[in-house]
Amino acid sequence: MNTQISNGMKKINVSTIIITIVVVVIIGLLIWNDSKNKISTPVADEHGMPIVTNTPVIPLDELINKPTPDFALADRDGKIYSSNELQGKNVILFFNEGLMCYPACWNQIVSLSQDERLKNDNTVVLSVVIDSKEDWQQAINKMPELAKATVVFDKDAEVSKKFNMLKTSSSMHYGSLPGHTYVIIDKEGMVRHVFDDPNMSIHNDQLVAEISKFSKK
């Protein structure tokens, strides 16, 4: 009788061990598969835009001391700002994420438009966004001061691609949207300064200082 009980207990113990091992293996496979999916699936923000990290960044210094890529951008009123027509003026291009970059980019756009040092016949400041002018109205409704800024609309990101603005350190949506990058072009149409800011701060003082380095008084 004791032998039968002992053998029964052994069978139960072996069965329990086998079941436990199977369960552990299944759980391990599920965890591994879930981790694999998380790694392979791009992270998306609340707008559904992919956020890709640890991606190679294109060096922007290659633009400096070279003629600006040709561009033509329209504002809300349909006025065109082209690289050819802007020659003879110092130009600041502020490439930014636009509608989704609240409040950092919006604050910089407003600050640039309100800076008296940049309001002169020799300087043009263009804030470049990929949004449509219809969508941008949402930003103006939320921050009315934006209506006084010169915001130009880069359809299909064509100009942003020419300047390599979609693949910078500040690009939260790598390959899709610019981040927070400044380009200064002199009166001869040469790129004189490029600055990319992942911290998305306001840089009016720096921009004014850079222009003063090559502007004739």
139 near 99, Cβ under 8 Å? Answer: yes
Full 3-state SS string of 104-136:
HHHHHHHHHHHCHHHCCCCEEEEEEECCCHHHH
User: What is the reported pLDDT for 3?
Assistant: 53
Q: Which of 172, 162, 154 is nearest to 100 (CA)?
A: 172
DSSP label at 69?
A: P
Domain coordinates in residue numbering, the chain: 2-41, 50-214
- Could you please state the CATH topology (level 3) that the domain comprising 50-214 is classified under: Glutaredoxin (3.40.30)
User: What is the reported pLDDT for 93?
Assistant: 98
**pLDDT tens for each residue of the chain, 217 residues long:** 555 545 555 555 667 777 778 666 676 666 555 544 433 334 444 444 444 444 456 578 899 999 999 999 999 999 999 999 999 999 999 999 999 999 999 999 999 999 999 999 999 999 999 999 999 999 999 999 999 999 999 999 999 999 999 999 999 999 999 999 999 999 999 999 999 999 999 999 999 999 999 986 5
Token pair listed for 215: 């502007």
162 near 154, Cβ under 8 Å? Answer: no
User: What is the reported pLDDT for 17?
Assistant: 74
Please report the DSSP string for 142-172 in residue order: H-GGGGGS-EEE-GGGHHHHHTTTTSSTT-S
User: What is the reported pLDDT for 24?
Assistant: 64
